[in-house]
Structure 1
Amino acid sequence: MLNRLPAEERRAQLVESAMGIAERGGVGSVTIRAVAEDAGVSLGVVHYCFESKEALVAAMGEALVLQLSQALRYAFGQARADESETGIRALKGLLHSGLSAMWPIIEATPDRQLLTYEITAYGLRQQAAGAELAGAIANNQYATMDAEAVAFLESCAEHSGTRWTEPVPHIARFALAVIDGIVLRWLVDRDGEAVVAELDDLVQMVTRKAVEN
């Protein structure tokens, strides 16, 4: 007999099933029937929770955003610097510490990172086709990343006794764009040593946008 779960738990279960399917075969392999079979429920249960594939993919995008936000907050929360130092040197230490904590999370979840790019592309295509629900996925993904990066940069400046010389949202957007490229290239060649050097270069570039108080 099918276990009766609260609606939110059932939705979360179906979203996880959909993401597992997508990780194995891409977003195109996600169908209402495939999700029902993977989750061990009837088609009616999936249709009750999600009126269409677009609604299901939108929920997948929201779940990935939440997971990403939690991962970034955890990684940036690990940022540490020598408390005897202040100024630009301390800022570099904090930035490097936060990015170094972020990378293992990314490296441990390559299939989910690839899925994030796939869902972004899917959302943009749906947006171009006029599907507002799925089209909002990409905007939500980047808005969340922007917010986490801005909070991290502001915290780093406060704890190091420095200030940013450009609007922090602009710096966050730049840094995230570079990280996007680094992750995508790593998904292609899996060159971890190159990533270490690239993240160090990013820290050098970003700290040029700060001065000591």
Structure 2
Amino acid sequence: MARIPAAERRNDLVNAAIQVIATHGVDGATTRRIAEQADAPLATLHYCFASKELLFAAVFERVAAEYQEVIVRSEVRGDVATTARELLRGAMTWYLDSTAFAAATIELISWAQRQGGNSAAVVYNQAFAVLRSILGKANSDQALDAETIDEISYIVAALSDGFALNWLTFGDREAAARQVDTSIAVLDAWLATKLASPASAEQRAPEPVQPKTGMSSLISWVNVG
């Protein structure tokens, strides 16, 4: 039998860990399960990774790198609104097509928080840095300050994360496809207000808001079709 290079084995084990974490959670991701998923001897796993923590760190790096690649692939050469829209669409489409990555990411972030480390913050900070870089290069009729770019990045991340949680909870692909459009419509509405010129904002007369009472006034974001 041909010997498999160590780098390839490490890659297989990281991929296996993502699948096992997505299925069994971090607590259920034993080294034995991960080795079996990778079709590798348990001793090989311990040779490639001295501890499970080091393996999980490698998984975090893979998740962060994959998410950044998704963001970069979604970049368009357009205005800020178009760019933000496609970044959001790209992230949500990735969650739909890469369910194991989405589930493993959420599991790992929860685990990292319990451990008291900053691995989760590293993943988010790296993603935000890429988002800010792309949005900062987008065409705009007005100069956008760093705070506005940060806010747009946050909205994109918050909408995509909320979408991922809903998708993982219900697993309804048909409904999720509609929710992609709903999320993008929310982003568009927020951007239209945020990026409106001061003159345009002054010209818009505020519409009267009718108070609502009772349960009918509560809006649920869960499994919106």
Normalised-by-shorter TM-score class: 0.7 to 0.9
Alpha-carbon shift at residue 24 of structure 1 (Å): 2.7
Partner of 2:73: 74
TM-score, length-scaled by structure 2? 0.74
1:152 and 2:141 are equivalent in the alignment: no
Q: Give the Cα–Cα distance (whole angstroms) in 2 for the partners of residues 40 and 94 of structure 1.
A: 41
Shift of the 169–123 alpha-carbon distance from structure 1 to 2, 3 Å rule, reads same
Partner of 1:55: 54
The 5-angstrom pairing of residues 1-213 of structure 1 reads 1=1, 3-5=3-5, 7-75=6-74, 77=75, 79=76, 81=78, 90-127=79-116, 135-156=117-138, 159-165=139-145, 167=147, 168-189=149-170, 190=172, 191-192=175-176, 193-210=178-195
Q: Give the Cα–Cα distance (whole angstroms) in 1 for the partners of residues 192 and 96 of structure 2.
A: 25
Q: Give the Cα–Cα distance (whole angstroms) in 1 for the partners of residues 90 and 41 of structure 2.
A: 41
Q: Give the Cα–Cα distance (whole angstroms) in 1 for the partners of residues 38 and 90 of structure 2.
A: 33
What SS does structure 1 have at the residue aligned with 2:143?
A: strand
TM-score, length-scaled by structure 1? 0.78
Equivalent pair of 1:186/1:195 in contact (CA under 8 Å): no
* 5+ long unaligned stretches in structure 1: 82-89, 128-134
Q: How many residues align?
A: 192
| Aligned-pair identity (%) | 26
Shift of the 163–211 alpha-carbon distance from structure 1 to 2, 3 Å rule, reads farther
Equivalent pair of 1:61/1:141 in contact (CA under 8 Å): yes
What SS does structure 1 have at the residue aligned with 2:40?
A: coil
Q: Give the Cα–Cα distance (whole angstroms) in 1 for the partners of residues 179 and 39 of structure 2.
A: 43
Q: Give the Cα–Cα distance (whole angstroms) in 2 for the partners of residues 174 and 72 of structure 1.
A: 14
Q: Which has the larger radius of gyration?
A: 2
Equivalent pair of 1:62/1:137 in contact (CA under 8 Å): no
Normalized per residue, the structure richer in helix is 1
Equivalent pair of 1:62/1:140 in contact (CA under 8 Å): no
Shift of the 56–115 alpha-carbon distance from structure 1 to 2, 3 Å rule, reads same
Shift of the 170–99 alpha-carbon distance from structure 1 to 2, 3 Å rule, reads closer
